[in-house]
Each structure stands twice: as structure tokens, then as C-alpha cells.
Chains A and B, each alone.
Chain A
Amino acid sequence: MWRLVLTSIALALSLALVSCGGGEPSSEIIIDGTPLSKRPFLGAMLAEPWPKPDFILTDTSGRPFSFQQETQGYVTFLYFGYTYCPDVCPAHMANIASALRKLPEEVRGQVKVVMVTVDPERDTPERLRQWLDLFSPSFIGLTGTLEEINEAGRRALGARWSPPEKVPLKEGGYSVNHIGFVIAYGKDNLARVIYPFGVSVDMFLHDIRKMLEVPP
């Protein structure tokens, strides 16, 4: 996992350097043995693709949502987060929403963004809806019992899933430790890339275009 984070930061740094211009061009940037210009995606590439999981949770209108069925044929971002999350969850959601806003409507319509709450106790369907609307009314929020959410997590991540852990704050309330990366499934229902924290709007934009084969 740390390698993923460092890779992303290295990528962000190289993008930043490139965007600066000026100075002598240096040699090709190599990340994990692949030249940057030949990497299909700027997120963290998976050695083997992960299959899209099959699970049913409840959406923000209170209806059952079958993840595999409802996202069939869409590029799908799956994230496990919560609405009381002050730092990383809103940053991830905002970056994806910002990237999508830069794409034409018909392209945006081929992408679904799904957040499964890891805090079903506080994240009611209404609250999830209200929070996701801060980013985009099209974002899908899912909840269930903690057992159902853990099961969905295990189906998506296998042994990598770690159940959310509540950590009390000093004077009441709690935060939740949770898996921090976003998984991106292609239209073929396979995930080839994940996004640890630190991925920028432009990196998401680049990868969404690649996944949909939209020229920049």
C-alpha cells in the first residue's frame, strides 16, 4: 500500500514538474519499470485485474441496489467512506466530481460513482444523499447493516478488506478507520487501477478518458 501512495506522489510530482515547464528536459520518468508516457493509467496499476463484486445494499432512496447489475456497462468508481469523514473522503469525492465536470455530458453519463458507507450508524440514506449532493446529485450512496457492508467489502477486496474501526474522539463522537482507496472498474467489469489518497483531479481526468477511450 505504501508503494501505491509513494507512486502516486511521485506521479503528482512529475506532473507538477512537467506543468512548470522551463528547465532542461531530463530523461524519461520510469515508475515501477514502465516509462510514464507508456503507462495506460496514472492511478496505481494492479498486477492482476480485480473482478467487479456482486453485492446488494440499500441506496439513498431506500431501494435495494445490486452493484453488479446496476453498474453493468459503466465505468464505475467504488469507494468505501463516510459522511463524517473530514479529510480524505470529501477530497476523493471532490476530485472525482471535479474531473467529471470537465467532461462532456455524454461522457459523464458513462461513469457511475458509488460510495458505500463504513458508518451505517450515522449515515442514514437521507444523510448520505445530502452529503453526496455536495459533490454531485448523480453520485450513488449505499448503506446496509455493518455485516452487509463488510460482506460487500470482502467481495470487492478479498483478504485486503479490513472492517471499519471506530476510533473515539476526545470529547465524544468518533472517526472511522477505513480502506482509503477508490477502485475503478472498466466497462468490462474488471478493475485494473486503484486510487490511493493524493491522486489529483487531472490524474482522474486522464484515467477516465483512457477508460472510455475519449481523446484528451
Chain B
Amino acid sequence: MKRGMLTGLLLVLAMTLGACGGGGVKPVAKIGPLEIFDPWARVTLKEGAVYLAIRNTGDADDVLVAASTDVARVEFHTTMMRGGQMVMEPVQSIPVRAGAWAALQPGGLHIMLIDLKRELRPGDRINLELRFEKAGTVSISVPVRALVQGQQEGTSHS
């Protein structure tokens, strides 16, 4: 119930922000009725996360059942608050309902990158394959974003 409320609030927030933005955002990939928007990964050393949004423009529900990349192991996780702790829980699959959005974002659902073979630096890109139950498999290129606003892309402190 609480999770439902939180998700609801986040969606309202996302829509509010979306409404400000002028609606010029284009999907980076399409597969069947599904559109993938704004994928990004955070700069990191060994474990990381990919975030993105999926829109289902069709009239049948679909499910994101797997993701893979050549740079890391991948699991779907969601972050939540439980008993005062931030807790990450594995998620088997991510539903993308007909006519709706699925949002993977910081502090919620994310594609966890485990045991990365190389550091992810600003300006890097990784290839990610997403497999949907009905729509099939789509490959996307995910940019790695600087962690700190104002940090120059392509520079690193390490």
C-alpha cells in the first residue's frame, strides 16, 4: 500500500516534470509497440545501475523479462525503504502494461550492473540488450553520465 502511494507520487512527479519539458523527447529505440526513452548509467567503479523509461503504445501488456550486457552481470532490482533501512530487492521481471509507462529511476526499479569488467566513465557507452516477453529483443546504447552536475563529460578524477 505504502509502495503504491510512493509509486503514485513518483508518477505524478514524473508527469509534472514531463509536462514542463515541452514533450520533445524521442525514444532511442522501438520494438513492436514498445518505445525506450532516456537510458543512462551512472559513473561507477565496480557495480552500477541503468535507468530508462519504457512506453507501451500497444493494447496488450508486455513484460521486460531479461537484460544483458557484455560488461557486467545484470539483475533487476528495486530499492525501497523498510524499517528505516534502504533495501534492495531482486525483481524477476518488470511489467510494461498496455498504454502505460514503466519507469526505472534512482531510488526505485533499476537494472543493476554487477561485477563490471571495467569502470564506467563519463562519456562511455555500454550496449544493453532488453528482452521482452512479447515484443522480442532490442539492443540499445546506454550513455554513462557524470555523477555531479557541472562535472565535465570525459574527465575523471581518479
Report which A residues bind B (CB closer than 8 A).
1-2, 5-6, 9-10, 12-13, 16-17, 19-20, 83-88, 90-91, 93-94, 97-98, 101-102, 127, 130-131, 133-137, 160, 162, 165, 167, 169-173, 175, 177-180, 196-198, 201
Contact = CB atoms under 8 A, between A and B. Distances in A.
Nearest to A171: B73
A158 B83 CA distance: 15
Nearest to A157: B84
Nearest to B88: A175
Interface in B57-91: 73, 75, 77, 79, 81-88, 90
Nearest to A93: B147
Contact of A197 (B13, B46, B86): B86
Contact of A86 (B49, B81, B148, B150): B49
Contacts, number: 137
B106 A87 contact: yes
B115 A6 contact: no
Nearest to A201: B149
16 contacts: A1-B83, A6-B9, A9-B9, A13-B9, A87-B79, A87-B88, A87-B107, A94-B148, A94-B149, A97-B148, A165-B85, A169-B114, A170-B75, A179-B85, A180-B84, A197-B79
